Amino acid sequence: MSLQLGSVLRASGQKLFSRTGAILLLAYIAFTAALLPLANTMIARIYERAGLTEAVGTVPLVLDLPLSVAVGGYLVGLLVGGYLSLVAVRTFVTGDGDTFPTGAFTRNVPLALGNAVVGGFIYLLLMTVGFALLFIPGLIVYIAFLFMLPYIAIEDRNFVDALRSSYRLSRGNWLMLGVLVLVVFGIAGVIGIVGGLVPGLFLPPALAQLSVVSIQAPISLFSLAVIAAAFDQLREGEAAGPGGSAPTAETSSTPV
């Protein structure tokens, strides 16, 4: 089945602007706002250790914490972010937009989160090597394994199986997925540039950073909604088979 870009973008917009999407968006904004002071504190403490006392004064929202505590809190925050991503993907793929699907918050969380963290590290490593090899291989890696997280979140796959399944599902649609990625990056880039410049011109540093966070959160969640919509569309096409028949109840069921 060939990926239908218009359908994916419409579906992702509907997912993002649903009731559950709005709740997830608020959670994402709160999460990124809470993570910001920890990141700033790490930067300020590194400046202090480097003797850059003047630079320390330019960093807003710094907490009275040592570097080790700030780093530990930030790492815990990253795990919370991974958990929110799992919940978001489960909600966008199997939810109806009004209520969260059964098990979205609780099903198999430690194992799924562990696979997502390890798989994400391997995914990042493969992309880094690919981008170092004249860029194109890195882009192919990014597209080929784009659905690793949905397979982990929805079907409880381990990261090896999820990477393998993502490659199989995306194969034959790399060009259309590449166009989709460019569209999403383009939208995110325009919003990010405008949202980053305007607050910096008119607001004090602390408020400017918090306003940027409130813009970054929807971009991140929209990207997950796009991945979920593309995953859903391609998986339905795969279940329908080469004949294009509708999937049966057995082939279309999804654990929740």
pLDDT digits (tens, 9 = 90+) for 74-123: 999 999 999 999 999 999 999 999 999 999 999 999 999 999 999 999 99
**Overall residue count recorded for the chain in this entry:** 256
**C-alpha span between 130 and 143 (Å, rounded):** 12
Q: Are 60 and 40 in contact (CB under 8 A)?
A: yes
The mean pLDDT value for 66-80 works out to 96
The mean pLDDT value for 153-164 works out to 96
At 45-58, the pLDDT tens digits run 999 999 998 899 89
Residue 1: pLDDT band by 50, 70, 90 thresholds?
Answer: low
The pLDDT of residue 8 is: 94
The pLDDT of residue 141 is: 94
The pLDDT of residue 203 is: 80
The pLDDT of residue 88 is: 97
Place of tokens 């990010």: 192
Residue 243 DSSP one-character state: T
**C-alpha span between 41 and 68 (Å, rounded):** 10
**C-alpha span between 230 and 4 (Å, rounded):** 8
Residue 247 scores a pLDDT above 50:
no
156: phi > 0 → left, psi -120 to 50 → alpha, else beta; which?
Answer: left
4-7 long-range contacts (CB < 8 A, ≥24 apart) are 4/233, 5/176, 5/179, 5/180, 5/183, 7/229, 7/233
Residue 198: pLDDT band by 50, 70, 90 thresholds?
Answer: confident
Residue 158 DSSP one-character state: -
The pLDDT of residue 242 is: 59
pTM, rounded to two decimals: 0.87
